[in-house]
Amino acid sequence: MSNHITGHTGLLCLLGSPVAHSVSPEMHNEACNQLGLDYTYLAFDVPEDQMPKAVEGLRTMGARGWNITMPGKNIMCRLADKVSPASEISGACNTIVNDNGVLTAYTTDGVGFMRAVAENDVDIIGKKMTLLGAGGAATAILVQAALDGVAEINVFNVRDAFWGRAEEIVAKLNERTECKVTLHDYEDPEVLRASIKDSAILVNGTSVGMAPNTDRTIITDTSMFHKDLFVFDVIYNPQETRFLREAREAGCKTANGMYMLLYQGAASFKLWTGQDMPVEIVKEKYFSK
């Protein structure tokens, strides 16, 4: 690590629990080193009930900004002074910018997703998306895709604890964007089949198929895949889930969530520093296959 810490060095950090596994410190410190920026990025294990105290400390100490991972993404929105449109609609944020004590909340997960899709030479603007899930990652994708101009999004989710919140978010998006958003459960598989048939992109925004449960998939009927479909999985452990493998075998172009993670970090970095993260260098060092 070549960054030399002085009395001028600014603080960036990650809050959440657990955080020790996170690649964010390596990614952001590498970017700061490459660009000669005088910041250090650290990870702090902070449970949700301690977030208000941690935030007041960081505000008082003049930290430039921080990322928030689970379980703090919702409470952090309430602790901020201002919220971006995407954070306001979703009720969640993963990035705080501290401008002289004024905290602004942003969510860059959806931005990271949209950039990861574009990097695959797939254009989904003005087209239809089928989105599986309505938890944190899925909601970030849903909101940003609607704001960015995806024409229609069908969200499928079991009637779980997320259902009520999903209904509220869908209503807001239909009111405030040009996107036609509909929420479905999985009761009728033919509704899902019809949605996928007309979609340019199918996204798994759930944890189904994540290690160690790699034998599981959310789409058990592989005849739903078609060769014109781009299939995206937010999971990146394993790098190819059963969902992605079976989509690839059906002739679909596929991508996992690894570059979504990279690009959400790049978007946070730009909000704090005003500079573009050197993503090719970061990609090569920390995200190479």
Catalytic residues: 73
| Closest listed residue to residue 196, CA positions, set 153, 161, 158 | 153
24 is an annotated ligand-binding site residue: yes
Sequence-distant (6+) residues with CB within 8 A of 224 are 192, 193, 196, 197
71 cis-preceded (ω within 30 degrees of 0)? yes
Are 22 and 12 in contact by the 8 Å Cβ rule? The answer is: no
91 is an annotated ligand-binding site residue: no
137 is an annotated ligand-binding site residue: yes
d(CA 117, CA 133): 18
94 is an annotated ligand-binding site residue: yes
19 is an annotated ligand-binding site residue: no
206 is an annotated ligand-binding site residue: no
Q: How far from 288 is each of 141, 217, 230, 239, 279, CA to CA, in Å?
A: 24, 25, 22, 11, 12
Q: Are strands 230-233 and 253-255 parallel, antiparallel or unpaired?
A: parallel
182 is an annotated ligand-binding site residue: no
The structure tokens 């479909």 sit at 229
22 is an annotated ligand-binding site residue: yes
90 is an annotated ligand-binding site residue: no
265 is an annotated ligand-binding site residue: no
39 is an annotated ligand-binding site residue: no
**Burial of 98 per CB tally in 10 Å (0-12, 13-18, 19+):** buried
Binding residues for shikimate: 22-24, 69, 94, 109, 236, 264
Q: Which residues are part of a known binding site?
A: 22-24, 69, 94, 109, 133-137, 234, 236, 257, 264
- Known binding-site positions for NADP(+): 133-137, 234, 257
